[in-house]
Structure 1
């Protein structure tokens, strides 16, 4: 639940929508309660309570009075109406996740109404705090309802979005309290608008966990020296890196000997023990232009070990995608990339090239930050490791699954995967 739902633009609204999608994807019945918004997913009902909106006419009138320190009959009437509306909206829910409603003063009648709720577990998901923000100081007064925002409520679980916010809330409470940190996340497939095939292959080959993910956009023909790329990946993995290599091209169309070369590459992949780390996409389908573009977006580096080239278009593509380039020391490559690529000599060993890749990426702040984001801020990981355990905590376990029906900011979960009694989170 929040004052607003998408298409309203904001960090809280984006987080609300992401939570809802995650719960729905994991078979939790879920709905969103908000003061305004529009449906954005057929699996996520939206229930509008107009006076939950921070910008509704009644709320704006009451906020004008509260800004002067006046708690008028209009405030109490609004709080009563919201209490009744919430009771109706939450009748089929066991858990409510309220975003900012227990920490921000944008609709204090809603805050007061939430205080009256009974029979439902409440999680206060706090993104911002009125009492710690200097810009709101003039609008806050001692006593109720403002004090509802600066002391912990009994039997309420508090979540903040960062360690900095946790410290801020502890200082406000003047005690450590029981505060869980769960940050917002990011979903690469939505952020980049990946093609459906790309998203499928990312999951199928566990490409998110590759570190680094190397891209070799080339046809399977002997002068591309793909065997050298396989040896480099084997050397990287022998060093302890979780390297993976994606080769995008089909067999070269103009040389019958390429079929024999393809068999050699598969045997080398097997012999080096990198069958799951070296992915020839030709084994799984054709690579459309949109998928090829997506692969440049998710890759960590271009690996291009050709023996001979007349030009090397992937050098240009990698440059536009801002990828580090590790390539053979060929005159056409130097003509294009100058000193902005990492070149290896014909006699360089796979171990030496692997060392160069590892050392270069270890100094690459963009690569290191990307790995940190993938590891700590992917929505799927945040959900499975932090959100779902928190939501299920305290509910009875029955058989294999959780007897959970939760409302999270308006979301739900079934008793078991794929089974629910119609109640929501």
Structure 2
């Protein structure tokens, strides 16, 4: 029996839900997924709140992008073109993180090492990495230097840290395009793992437990294309066309599935014959395993799936 290894994972961003934002939602989704697979997760942020009871969330205003002390230190550093006005706050953040991150296996820092909103935090993270305190993943979504109209003061100190590759950090970026941009930004140094932003559809769509069982048993989320036909099995519904479309998609190399929700009327000979015709067509076209007639579906436990309006809603959402 293989023994699974579980990790203590810290996630860090300027803010977290219930504040609304793209990176904030990515942090939420990552935390949910890590927790679902039995890892210990904690979120550190400068703004936000306790949006989940599944894992701890710690809010420290010094991690925020809008903290007045942080903003003031930035202004002084820009005036002097020097790092020194940031050092006091950097030391405070460094000490806080070093104490708070004891016992963690990894820190995933979203955007705080690539954006210009809290430089004391950026410097503190570089210090922790330089000490090999714990593995730090710089998860890069964006950088002000990717745009032609970025402010002039970002060309000077103390902002040069944002262009500095740290060999003691690990780098993840959200696309191949971002990989190219970060590689050039860091002086053509470093290795970057590409992991696109994603969502956890089970929690995002609030899917019913019966739907989740079907998805897992049939590996529906591995599909390239899911077609849902919410109709009973009757010749007027022309379901054979959907089966032929499925075959065409399979011939194009797509992992496609067809889910038909309705049953045939056992009292009507025409409908029963149509059911047999559909089964025969799917077998002839070699897509029998990819056509799910949900009204007759049995879970591996032997229970029957009973599609209802909640199931219909869920199937529309994932299709």
TM-score, with structure 2 as normaliser: 0.78
Aligned to 2:119: 108
CA deviation after TM superposition for structure 1 residue 58, in Å: 1.4
Unaligned runs of 5+ in 1: 300-425
- Kindly indicate whether the alpha-carbon contact (under 8 Å) linking 1:158 and 1:178 is maintained by their aligned counterparts in 2: yes
CA distances 1:264-294 after superposition (whole Å, capped 9, x unpaired): 3696378545442221111233322233244
Q: Which of the residues 208, 213, 220 maps onto 2:233?
A: 220
- Distance in 1, matches of 2:256 and 2:40, equals 38
How many residues align structurally? Answer: 296
Aligned to 2:52: 41
In the alignment, structure 1 residue 83 sits paired with structure 2 residue 94: yes
CA deviation after TM superposition for structure 1 residue 225, in Å: 6.2
> Does the C-alpha gap of structure 1 residues 204 and 262 become closer, same or farther in structure 2, counting only changes over 3 Å?
farther
- Distance in 1, matches of 2:138 and 2:238, equals 57
CA deviation after TM superposition for structure 1 residue 245, in Å: 2.3
Aligned to 2:192: 179
Q: Which of the residues 153, 156, 162 maps onto 1:149?
A: 162
- Kindly indicate whether the alpha-carbon contact (under 8 Å) linking 1:221 and 1:261 is maintained by their aligned counterparts in 2: no
Q: Which of the residues 273, 277, 280 maps onto 1:268?
A: 280
- Distance in 2, matches of 1:238 and 1:6, equals 40
CA distances 1:390-421 after superposition (whole Å, capped 9, x unpaired): xxxxxxxxxxxxxxxxxxxxxxxxxxxxxxxx
Please tell me the root mean square deviation across aligned C-alpha atoms, in Å: 3.2
- Kindly indicate whether the alpha-carbon contact (under 8 Å) linking 1:131 and 1:137 is maintained by their aligned counterparts in 2: no
Q: Which of the residues 24, 31, 41 maps onto 1:30?
A: 41
CA distances 1:323-372 after superposition (whole Å, capped 9, x unpaired): xxxxxxxxxxxxxxxxxxxxxxxxxxxxxxxxxxxxxxxxxxxxxxxxxx
CA deviation after TM superposition for structure 1 residue 67, in Å: 3.2
- Distance in 2, matches of 1:231 and 1:104, equals 49
- Distance in 1, matches of 2:33 and 2:148, equals 35
Residue 22 of structure 1: SS of its match in structure 2? Answer: helix
- Distance in 2, matches of 1:267 and 1:180, equals 45
Aligned to 2:154: 140
- Kindly indicate whether the alpha-carbon contact (under 8 Å) linking 1:67 and 1:138 is maintained by their aligned counterparts in 2: no
Instruction: Name which one, 1 or 2, has greater alpha-carbon Rg.
Output: 1
Q: Which of the residues 159, 167, 187 maps onto 2:172?
A: 159
CA deviation after TM superposition for structure 1 residue 131, in Å: 4.2
Residue 7 of structure 1: SS of its match in structure 2? Answer: coil
- Distance in 2, matches of 1:235 and 1:296, equals 21
> Does the C-alpha gap of structure 1 residues 287 and 87 become closer, same or farther in structure 2, counting only changes over 3 Å?
same
Q: Which of the residues 264, 282, 294 maps onto 1:281?
A: 294
- Distance in 2, matches of 1:269 and 1:28, equals 46
> Does the C-alpha gap of structure 1 residues 35 and 225 become closer, same or farther in structure 2, counting only changes over 3 Å?
closer
Q: What is the correspondence of 1:186-265 to structure 2 with a 5 Å cutoff? A: 186-210=199-223, 212-221=225-234, 224=237, 228=240, 232=244, 235-236=247-248, 239=251, 242-252=255-265, 255=267, 257=269, 261=273, 264=276
- Distance in 2, matches of 1:210 and 1:261, equals 30
Q: What is the correspondence of 1:329-348 to structure 2 with a 5 Å cutoff? A: none
Aligned to 1:9: 20
Unaligned runs of 5+ in 2: 1-11, 297-303
Residue 68 of structure 1: SS of its match in structure 2? Answer: helix
